[in-house]
Amino acid sequence: MTVQTKNPKKASILTRDKRRENLGRRWYKFSRNPMSIVGMTTVLLVVFLAIFAPVIAPHPEAAGKFVDFANASLSPCWRYPFGTDVIGRDIMSRIFFGFRFSLTMGMVVLILVVPPGVTLGLIAGYNQGTWIETVIMRITDIFLAVPPLVLALAIASVLTPNLFNSMIAVSLMWWPWYTRLVYGLASTLRNEFFVNSAEALGASSAHIIFREILPNCISPIFTKMSLDMGWVILIGSSLSFVGLGVQAPKPGLGTMVADGSQYLPDQWWISVFPALAIVVVVLGFNLLGDGLRDMFAAEEV
């Protein structure tokens, strides 16, 4: 087990200087691997492009209902680096705005999923060997019994197709992964000395779960969140690819790939550039996540 098992309370006694030193050491460890730096740079770049899309995008009007038949179906050129689609919208600008939807999707899903997933995992792990563990983990098994994309597709399809509902659909499918991860961590931590001593001192189970066990699970959870940003974005783009996510004329990356695929092979740029954009985002978050995993030595993820 590589989980840090020292008492979390000790960590808070550390002076600010000590903490800064710790941070410095961690950064050193992280930055030794060039791929982690590439990942971090990619993620920062995508976030930057998404936030400042209205300012940076060469043709910001292309993100909405906009038609320019004079410049329709242009192959990549100086004015339109990634070309334009069949109604004259700049692909590059649409990709920048598409990043916004992808990142929103990733963030909202993680915010919805991590707290309940982690809490259930902690409770199941702490109450090892009781009916509580059985109930929680068997329910988790059910949700893990079908690939997340399939159930997400099914849920998204019975709701009205839009970004919000696709986020709900993915969230409903995603929490078991956190439950399972944290359950594994918590069920080993629960037999550590510091948990036993807290119990002997009469600490409440809420205290033990959230103040003693949870702090020791943070690094793997963080690592998984970084990796999952990529996976959620991937699933989100799959949903929008089949038309169950971001709706036209809004520029979802998957939606753009699907729309462009009708015009293959002549106007390949309409679908290929958004497709590559998805790959870049997912790759970025993955490299970052792998870097974090090495840094935290969180091999469980």
Partner 1 sequence: MNSITFIIRRAIHSIFVLLGLSIVIFGISRIMPGDPARMAVGARAPQWVVDNLHQQMHLDEPLYAQYYYWLRDALHGDFGISLVTRRPVSEDIKEFFPATFELTLFAGVIMGGAGIFLGTVSARHKDKWIDNLVRVISYLGVVTPSFVFAILFLLLFGMTLNWMPTMGRLSVDVPRPPVITGLITVDSLLTGNPQAFFDALWHLILPGLALAMSGLAQEARITRSTMSDNLNKDYIASERSLGIPEKVIMRRFLLKPSLIPTISILGLDFAGTMSNAFLVELIFNWPGSSRYGINAMLRKDLNAIAAVILILGVVFIVVNILVDIVVAQLDPRIRLAPGRSE
- Kind and range of the H or E element at 202? none
Between 92 and 172, name the residue whose CB sits nearer to partner 1.
172
Neighbour tally for 81: CB within 10 Å: 14
Smallest distance, Å, CB 144 to partner 1? Answer: 9
Q: What residue has token string 């309409």? A: 270
| Interface residue with partner 1, options 51, 72, 151, 218 (CB under 8 A) | 151
Fill in the DSSP letter of residue 7: -
Q: What is the distance between the alpha carbons of residues 301 and 180, in angstroms, rounded to a whole number?
A: 10
Minimum distance from residue 172 beta carbon to partner 1 (Å)? 9
**Minimum distance between the CB of residue 55 and partner 1, rounded to whole angstroms?**
29
Q: Please report how the helices 269-296 and 34-51 are oriented relative to each other, as an axis angle in degrees rounded to 10.
A: 130
CA atoms of 104 and 236, how far apart (whole Å): 10
- The tokens of 138 are what? 């068997």
Among 132, 247, 268, 297, binds partner 1 (CB under 8 A): 268
The residues near 187 (Cβ < 8 Å, ≥ 6 apart) are: 124, 125, 128
For position 248 contacting partner 1 by CB under 8 A, the verdict is no
Q: Please, which residues bridge with residue 90 across strands?
A: 84
Reference 274, options 247, 255, 293; nearest CA is 255
Nearest-angstrom CA–CA distance, 241 and 249? 14
Minimum CB distance to partner 1, residue 286 (Å): 5
Alpha helices (runs of H) in 127-252, residue ranges in sequence order = 131-144, 148-158, 163-189, 193-200, 205-207, 218-241
Question: d(Cα 277, Cα 211) in Å, to the nearest integer?
Answer: 41
Q: Which of 257, 288, 298, 301 binds partner 1 (CB under 8 A)?
A: 257
Using CB under 8 A, pick the residue from 142, 191, 200, 202 that binds partner 1. Answer: 142
Candidates 113, 153, 167, 213; binder of partner 1 (CB under 8 A) is 153
Q: Give the x-and-dash track for 88-117 against partner 1 (CB under 8 A).
A: ------------------------------
Pick from 166, 226, 237, 255 the residue near partner 1 by CB under 8 A: 237
Query: Applying CB under 8 A, does 230 fall inside the site for partner 1?
Result: yes
Closest to partner 1 by CB, 126 vs 241, is 241
> Is 226 among the residues that bind partner 1 (CB under 8 A)?
no
**Which stretch, 6-14, 87-95, 105-113, 263-271, contacts partner 1 (CB under 8 A)?**
263-271
CB of 264 to partner 1, least distance (A): 5
| Least distance to partner 1, CB of residue 282, Å | 4
Q: CA 244, CA 156: separation in Å to the nearest integer? A: 6
| Residue 76 backbone dihedrals phi, psi, to 5 degrees | -50, 130
**Contacting residues toward partner 1, per CB under 8 A:** 138-139, 141-143, 145-151, 153-159, 230, 234, 237-238, 241-244, 254, 257, 261, 264-265, 268, 271-272, 275-276, 278-279, 282-283, 286
